[in-house]
Chains A and B, each alone.
Chain A
């Protein structure tokens, strides 16, 4: 079975603070894919990043960075110098081998106040 756990239900920060969203996954597949999506108040899921299981290199894109650690089955997401526009629900998702479906976590709501 595949499972994604996002233990943080809601995080509140003040603008310019750094914030890390945690994601822990479970899978028996040796090849799999991990994703992060953003769901702003408008409701549309926005794709942020995909990471393959065989590529443990961390990635940075502007204020966003992702830390993938297979040893702890984690794929954490850090926003540096948060902004009000970052306020949204963030979902981590997993896709295993042989299936196309994404398995999502329950999401973390991020509130960034001015």
Chain B
């Protein structure tokens, strides 16, 4: 049984660079979520997809952030012109049709120097 996978697991970048993260949900899960977690805090919601449609976006998702799920399978989260404040763990989760539980991946830890 394959869980949610995320790539890369770690990313170190310099301020001002663009980064892209990938999330592969559990097979046949039609809903996909992105969260951000900083040290000592709980995850904070960023955005939600049902199939390929982006249905919810948090105000945390500034213009520098964009997420896609072009074919309703994997998703990418891009951060443009990274800032030091973007340093965090970026978590992806997925849910099956009709299910209320969200199953999380291992996360991508971003460090912006």
Contact = CB atoms under 8 A, between A and B. Distances in A.
B103 A100 contact: no
Contact of B55 (A4, A37, A100, A105): A100
Contacts of A42: 106
Contact of A44 (B40, B45, B106): B106
B17 interface: no
Contacts, number: 59
B107 A105 contact: no
B95 to A, nearest CB: 8
How would you classify the secondary structure of chain B's contact residues: helix, strand, loop or mixed?
strand
B84 to A, nearest CB: 21
How would you classify the secondary structure of chain A's contact residues: helix, strand, loop or mixed?
strand
Interface string A97-108: 001111111110
Interface size class of A (residues with CB under 8 A): 20 to 34
B107 A43 contact: yes
Contact of B105 (A44, A102, A106): A44
A79 interface: no
Contact of A104 (B44, B56, B100, B103): B44
Interface residues of B, number: 27
Contacts of A46: 104
Interface in A37-68: 37, 42-47, 50, 52
A105 B93 CA distance: 17
Given A43-B89, A43-B107, A45-B91, A102 B102 contact: yes
A37 B93 CA distance: 13
A44 B42 contact: no
B106 A102 contact: no
Interface string B7-41: 00000000000000000000000010101000011
A106 B100 contact: no
A101 B107 contact: no
Nearest to A92: B42
Contact of B45 (A50, A52, A103): A103
Contact of A101 (B48, B105, B106): B48
